[in-house]
Structure 1
Amino acid sequence: MMNTMSQRFSPEVRERAVRMVGEHRADYGSEWAAMTSIAAKIGCTAETLRRWCRDEARRRAGPAGQAGDERVRLKELEREVKELRRANEILRKASAYFAMAELDRRGK
């Protein structure tokens, strides 16, 4: 389906539509509202226009922008691993404590 839309609209029309979203975003309550209105005017779906805008944003960001996103995601994952290791250590110690308490109870 995306291939059909890409063939149906020229690169110039796509670029113009994406530019219009950026230029007229402030005229609408949300970016989606701007996309819906502009998409209706050029004859595509709002989802298609949203995809074009997303692709353009990625193209502009280039590898550096993606690398930044990956760095942020990596930091989040490292933080999560640290928290999980801490929780596992607490659980391991609690398990050992309760195992010892159970052995002491049985011995009496």
Structure 2
Amino acid sequence: MRMVLGLRAQDPEDRGVLSRVVKQLGVNPEALRHYVRQAEVDAGLRTGVPSGEAARIKELEREVGELRRANDILVQHRRLLARDRGLAAGHPPAH
């Protein structure tokens, strides 16, 4: 990745940099292309979501899911309590 970025910095017009580096290193071209693009985003050279922000978004989405599950449990518990209180007060269950 650094090799590609360095070579591109030396000669921005050279369109064969990625291909040459792929052949030299024997890596998957799509994997290297992905890593280079993400490095460019992280460096502010390309638009997109930087790695740090993407990780934070993923963490927040996981947390929102956990909170929604916890909220669902609390809502179910509240309904059960309300039903039990109604039965204890002599009210028949609603159908």
TM-score tier, shorter chain, comes to: 0.3 to 0.5
- TM-score (structure 2 length as normaliser): 0.45
The higher-RCO structure (CA 8 Å, 6+ apart) is 1
Considering fraction of residues, name the structure with more helix: 1
**TM-score (normalizing by structure 1):** 0.40
